[in-house]
Amino acid sequence: MDAKSTLEITNSFPFPTVDVPVTDSHHDSNAASNLAAAAPRSKNNAIYQNEMIKKLREVNVDANNVGWYTSANLGNFVNMNMIENQYHYQKELNERTVAIIHDVSRSSQGSLSLRAFRLSPAFMVAYKENKFTVE
């Protein structure tokens, strides 16, 4: 709920996990992390999100999609997948959508570490026009 300049988030739910097939007697951790990173943009997960919000409303929970969340380690979270996910959410859903970053290593030191981010309008234009690189 967006009240004045404060966004209140009261509920969240994870995306379903995807099993990555084992090949040559080993598990490809890069394939698993790439699938997880792209999860917010996947068509199946968009359908899943809509169904979850519908079910929450059926039990009288005020439910609106205001963004997505992910975990980080020692503040290490800005990468192409994070930017692509946030761009997708702000472009397709709502320009006020946020990405919540939970830093698990900092939280384990005794203080909950949550941060919220949005892409600026100038960045959205630069990204759309392919005037942005991670280099």
Name the E strands within 1-135.
Answer: 2-3, 6-7, 67-72, 98-103, 114-117
Q: How far apart are CA 59 and CA 9, in angstroms?
A: 17
pLDDT band with cut points at 50, 70 and 90 for residue 129 = very high
Residue scoring higher pLDDT (3 or 112): 112
84 has pLDDT over 70:
yes
Q: How far apart are CA 118 and CA 100, in angstroms?
A: 9
pLDDT of residue 9: 83
Q: How far apart are CA 49 and CA 96, in angstroms?
A: 18
pLDDT of residue 62: 85
- Interval 22-73: pLDDT, tens: 665 554 555 555 555 666 677 777 888 889 999 999 999 888 888 888 888 8
- Interval 95-128: pLDDT, tens: 888 999 999 888 898 889 899 999 999 999 999 9
pTM of full prediction above 0.85: no
pLDDT of residue 94: 84
Asked if residue 65 lies in contact with residue 35, where contact means CB atoms within 8 angstroms, the answer is no
